Amino acid sequence: MFSLDWIYYAISWILLTWHSAWDAIGVPVDAVIGTNFAWILAIIFLVVTVRVILFPVFVKQIKSQRAMQALQPQVKALQEKHKGDRETLQKEMMELYRKEKANPLMGCLPMFLQIPVFLGLFHVLRRLDPAKQAKTLYGWSVEQFDSASNAKLFTAPIAGKFGSTADELARLGANGTTVKVIAGILVLVMMGTTYLTSRQMILKTGWAEDPQQRMIQRLMLYGIPLSLLVSGAIFPIGVIIYWVTNNLFTLGQQQWVLRKYPPPPTATSKATSGARNPVQPAKTGGLFGRSKPAPQAPAKATAPKVAAPKPGAKPSNPKKGRPAKRQG
């Protein structure tokens, strides 16, 4: 059976290293404002460590998306050519991707590579229970384990979760209401930042022409944030801190990369046209996709009307009105 112990050891080592670093530079180990900042910063810089390692993969993701956008006219032509024949269409599209060295799955690769990190942190923090006997597992010392078990964010333990049982809260010495409030707020922030990261990318790169790619985009935009409303109840607070920090890091990183590797003009125009309604892009034209009014044909020039002279008024040119004199 495949073991994930190496992930648990790696996550534990990064957490403990950063915690020791913050302790060494004088960050208080004890709670300040109900928060153990050394452990909170250790989780935040776990994100920084992972994102620095995955940065080259993220750049490849952006370049792959650019390549996919450049192929959209050819993909659309194939869809028209093989309309109603999905099997042939899929073969032709895969051959096109192979020939042009474009990978449709590259867009999801950074997220998939972070799943083991997320699962590792989830497992490590879930073990932070004072009742555990094997405290030295994954390279922890007893002192480090006890310190992390008592670590809090505004008096809510980082090992606590929205769905913690009364027994779990009692072992952690936590107040159930406080844990639910802190965890609930963090879950909402997690959902919001997850939505924003997906929306930022779609607005910058545009909606895909390929129906499968568009379905993946919609899943990323709406499906994942909504799923967090349910799954967030089983996440320890420390894991939610990791997720929110990761989303904020992604927002900043995407902004930098998208400026350095700007999307093609076609993608930019589509992104702008869809800014008002990301699911159903607005019609192109005008600011934010608003339709410009059709230009009206210029009115035909008409001859100026000459006003008739008023009764009794002298003619403007009396010479023209006089009869010519006869020559004698």
Q: What is the pLDDT of residue 314?
A: 55
- Residue 251 C-beta-side C-alpha neighbours within 13 Å: 13
Residue 32's beta-bridge partner residues? Answer: 35
Q: What is the pLDDT along the chain (328 residues), one digit of tens a residue?
A: 567 899 999 999 999 999 999 999 999 877 789 999 999 999 999 999 998 998 888 777 777 777 777 787 888 888 888 887 888 888 888 888 888 777 776 667 777 888 899 999 999 999 998 888 889 999 999 999 999 999 999 999 999 999 999 999 999 989 999 999 999 999 999 999 999 988 987 887 677 766 777 888 888 889 989 999 988 999 999 999 999 999 999 899 888 877 876 766 654 444 444 444 444 443 333 323 334 444 454 555 555 555 555 555 555 555 554 555 555 4
Q: What is the pLDDT of residue 316?
A: 53
Q: Is 99 exposed, middle or buried (0-12, 13-18, 19+ CB in 10 A)?
A: exposed
Residue 35's beta-bridge partner residues? Answer: 32
Position 284 in a domain: no
Q: What is the pLDDT of residue 122?
A: 94
Q: What is the pLDDT of residue 305?
A: 54
Q: What is the pLDDT of residue 191?
A: 94
Q: What is the pLDDT of residue 287?
A: 29
Position 296 in a domain: no
Position 276 in a domain: no
What DSSP assignment string belongs to 16-68? HHHHHHHHHTT--SS-BTTB-HHHHHHHHHHHHHHHHHHHHHHHHHHHHHHHH
Q: What is the pLDDT of residue 86?
A: 81
How far is Cα 47 from Cα 50, in angstroms, rounded to an integer?
A: 5
- 75, 93 in Cβ contact below 8 A? yes
How far is Cα 218 from Cα 208, in angstroms, rounded to an integer?
A: 10
Position 105 in a domain: yes
What DSSP assignment string belongs to 263-291? PPHHHHHHHHHTSS-SSSPPPSSSGGGPP
Task: Read off φ and ψ for residue 152, nearest 5 degrees.
Answer: -135, 160
13-50 pLDDT, tens digit per residue, is: 999 999 999 999 999 877 789 999 999 999 999 999 99
Position 142 in a domain: yes
Other CB atoms within a 10 A radius of the CB of residue 78 amount to 20
Split into its structural domains, the chain has a count of 1
For residue 278, what are its two tokens? 């990301």
DSSP 222: I
Position 25 in a domain: yes
Q: Is 41 exposed, middle or buried (0-12, 13-18, 19+ CB in 10 A)?
A: middle
Please state at what angle helix 142-149 crosses helix 5-24, rounded to 10 degrees: 80
Position 186 in a domain: yes
Can you give the residue range of the structural domain that contains 250? Answer: 11-266
Q: Tokens 């009105």 map to which residue?
A: 321
- Measure CA 124 to chain center: 27
Position 231 in a domain: yes
Q: What is the pLDDT of residue 315?
A: 55
0.85 surpassed by pTM: no
Q: What is the pLDDT of residue 273?
A: 46
